Amino acid sequence: MTVIGILVSALAIWRLTHLISEEDGPWDIIARIRRTVGPGWLGQAMDCFYCLSLWIAVPFACWAGTTWKERAVLWPALSGAAILLERFSAREKI
Does 74 score more than 50 pLDDT? yes
pLDDT tier at 92 (50, 70, 90 boundaries)?
A: low
pLDDT at 93: 56
CB-hemisphere CA count at 13 Å for 65? 18
Q: Which of 83, 78, 84 is nearest to 60 (CA)?
A: 78
pLDDT at 85: 93
SS3 of residue 93 by DSSP:
coil
pLDDT at 40: 83
Planar angle of CA 45, 20, 77, nearest 5 degrees: 70
Average pLDDT, the chain: 90
Task: Read off the pLDDT of residues 2-38 as tens digits, 9 standing for 90 and up.
Answer: 888 889 999 999 999 999 998 998 999 998 998 898 8
pLDDT at 58: 96
Mean pLDDT along residues 64-86: 94
